[in-house]
């Protein structure tokens, strides 16, 4: 991913001020103060720059040429100025800048920093522009491109659905009211039956001079937002930014609600939700499901001997072995203090026993270094393989087997296939 910010500023004091401001976001920044330097930097670093901050008032040859050169190179550029001039603002954005930011009491970095963050993250977001009119589609595709968003074009629900199925990184659909044989409101209604508001942002675009009734209909049918034609690109950008920020906020919160803070593994809630999905899919495909309950042996003794913080360190070390040993497609979760669950489907008997036996050995041989000396732990495992698909029941069976493993000496697997 491109990760550098380019600052175009002829005043060295201001340049340093901008560098200090953007450094809080953790991106690397490069400054240029004349046109020659700009050309050299673009030759060397073009592939690494995701945004440019460009001072509007520049003293030397930068003023007339810099923006043109940046636009030729398709690099998202925010022009800022301490003096407001409506004509210049419009002309600058019209000529291809992403935004024109003004503040006559010094530069307001809050908004600029937001734009920088969004433009950076947009590198991994894709969008669909659905409009019956080719020119209108092209205009919006261009606007999104300036904002670092790659987009696809579509004319109806079928095309949108095909694109969504093929490209899981699509986060935004912009739907015009006039499409090929359909209305935008109908399309939104259909899309919302499959794609929820917290997974896919939809912005409805009203027709020229339309009443606010249509905007209301868009929102009622499930659009996250709407925009009224004719719009200026700044408004378009802001609405896109707002929708994507909200989507991301929901995603981060969801992730956090499903994650165990100490180990960053899935928690019990995530296990129940994702485990349920694995069972439904396995049933559909008539695959078997393996469920393992794992519990660290005599963990209480570690806390009692070394203290709770060392116990935590042991849990983190064990979680790292889980992450390294199991595949991304296996569901692994910390479901209790020192208790873990693994769920995998479509697996042969010998293979599943081998996987867990290897894991047991890895835990046993791992030496965990702490301030209080080296620690080793062992783990007991209950493993149940079956064609049963009710999560609660198979977890209970695996739990019973874990109990047997504990009672028959610990540091072992009790396996049952049904």
Single out the catalytic residue among 9, 338, 339, 388.
Answer: 338
Helix (H) or strand (E) holding 129: strand 126-130
Instruction: Tell whether residue 217 is a contact of Mg ion (CB under 5 A).
Output: no
Tell me whether residue 28 is one of the annotated catalytic residues: no
Nearest-angstrom CA–CA distance, 7 and 13: 13
Structure tokens at 316: 């983190």
- Which of 299, 356, 389, 415 contacts Mg ion by CB under 5 A? 299
Give the shortest CB-316-to-ligand GH3 separation in angstroms.
10
The one of Mg ion, ligand GH3, none whose footprint includes residue 303, by CB under 5 to 8 A per kind, is ligand GH3
Give the shortest CB-320-to-Mg ion separation in angstroms.
18
Give the shortest CB-376-to-ligand GH3 separation in angstroms.
14
Instruction: Tell whether residue 147 is a contact of Mg ion (CB under 5 A).
Output: no
Q: Toward Mg ion, which CB reaches closer, 290 or 377?
A: 377
Q: What x-and-dash track marks residues 251-290 binding Mg ion by CB under 5 A?
A: ----------------------------------------
What residues are paired with 31 via a beta bridge? 7
Q: Toward ligand GH3, which CB reaches closer, 197 or 412?
A: 412
The one of Mg ion, ligand GH3, none whose footprint includes residue 406, by CB under 5 to 8 A per kind, is ligand GH3
Instruction: Tell whether residue 131 is a contact of Mg ion (CB under 5 A).
Output: no
The one of Mg ion, ligand GH3, none whose footprint includes residue 308, by CB under 5 to 8 A per kind, is ligand GH3
Quickly count: other Cβ atoms within 10 Å of residue 344's Cβ.
23
Phi-psi region of 380 (alpha: psi -120 to 50; beta: other; left: phi over 0): beta
Phi-psi region of 96 (alpha: psi -120 to 50; beta: other; left: phi over 0): left
CB 98 within 8 A of CB 147: yes
Residues that bind ligand GH3 (CB under 6 A): 262, 295-300, 303, 308, 311-312, 315, 337-338, 406, 410
CB 253 within 8 A of CB 311: no
Q: What is the DSSP letter of 373?
A: E
Quickly count: other Cβ atoms within 10 Å of residue 187's Cβ.
24
**Residue carrying structure tokens 């791992």:** 366
Give the shortest CB-406-to-Mg ion separation in angstroms.
8
**In sequence order, what E strands does 184-279 have?**
201-206, 225-228
Return the ∠ at Cα 45 (arms to 39 and 48), rounded to 5°. Answer: 140
Give the shortest CB-97-to-ligand GH3 separation in angstroms.
51
Q: Give the three-state DSSP class for 401.
A: helix
Q: Toward ligand GH3, which CB reaches closer, 116 or 405?
A: 405
The residue with its CB nearest to ligand GH3 is 337
Give the shortest CB-411-to-Mg ion separation in angstroms.
11
Q: Toward Mg ion, which CB reaches closer, 131 or 338?
A: 338
Nearest-angstrom CA–CA distance, 238 and 90: 15
Give the chain's largest Cα–Cα span: 83
Q: Catalogue the active-site residues.
A: 338
Site for Mg ion, rule CB under 5 A: 295-296, 299, 338
């Amino acid at each position: 991913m491109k990760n550098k910010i380019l600052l175009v500023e002829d005043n060295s004091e201001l340049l340093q001020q901008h560098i200090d401001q953007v450094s809080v976001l953790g991106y690397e920044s490069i400054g240029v103060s004349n046109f020659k330097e700009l050309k050299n930097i673009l030759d060397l670093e073009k592939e690494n720059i995701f945004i440019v901050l460009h001072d509007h008032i520049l003293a030397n040859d930068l003023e007339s040429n810099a923006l043109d050169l940046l636009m030729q190179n398709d690099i998202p550029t925010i022009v800022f100025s301490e003096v407001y001039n409506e004509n210049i603002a419009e002309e600058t954005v019209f000529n291809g800048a992403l935004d024109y930011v003004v503040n006559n009491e010094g530069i307001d970095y809050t908004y600029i920093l937001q734009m920088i963050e969004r433009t950076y993250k947009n590198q991994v977001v894709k969008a669909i522009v659905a409009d019956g009119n080719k020119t209108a589609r092209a205009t919006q595709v261009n606007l999104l491109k300036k904002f670092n968003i790659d987009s696809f074009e579509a004319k109806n629900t079928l095309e949108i659905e095909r694109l969504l199925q093929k490209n899981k990184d699509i986060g935004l659909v912009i739907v015009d009211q006039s499409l090929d044989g359909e209305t935008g409101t109908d399309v939104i209604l259909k899309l919302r039956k499959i794609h929820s508001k917290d997974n896919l942002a939809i912005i409805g675009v009203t027709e020229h001079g339309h009443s606010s009734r249509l905007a209301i209909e868009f929102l009622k049918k499930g659009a996250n937002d709407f925009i009224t034609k004719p719009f200026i690109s700044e408004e378009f950008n802001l609405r896109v930014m707002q929708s994507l920020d909200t989507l991301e906020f929901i995603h981060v919160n969801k992730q956090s609600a499903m994650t165990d803070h100490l180990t960053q593994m899935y928690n019990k809630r995530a296990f129940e939700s994702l485990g349920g999905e694995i069972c439904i899919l396995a049933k559909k495909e008539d695959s078997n499901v393996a469920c393992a309950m794992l519990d660290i042996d005599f963990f209480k003794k570690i806390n009692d001997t070394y203290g709770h913080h060392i116990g935590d360190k042991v849990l983190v070390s064990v979680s790292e072995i889980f992450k390294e040993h199991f595949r991304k497609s296996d569901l692994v979760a910390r479901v209790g203090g020192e208790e873990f669950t693994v769920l995998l489907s479509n697996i042969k008997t010998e293979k599943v026993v081998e996987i867990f036996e290897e894991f047991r050995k890895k835990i046993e041989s791992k030496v965990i270094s702490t301030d209080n000396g080296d620690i080793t732990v062992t783990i007991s495992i209950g493993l149940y393989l079956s064609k049963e698909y009710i999560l609660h029941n198979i977890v209970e069976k695996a739990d019973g087997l874990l109990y047997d493993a504990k009672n028959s000496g610990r540091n072992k697997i009790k396996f049952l296939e049904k």
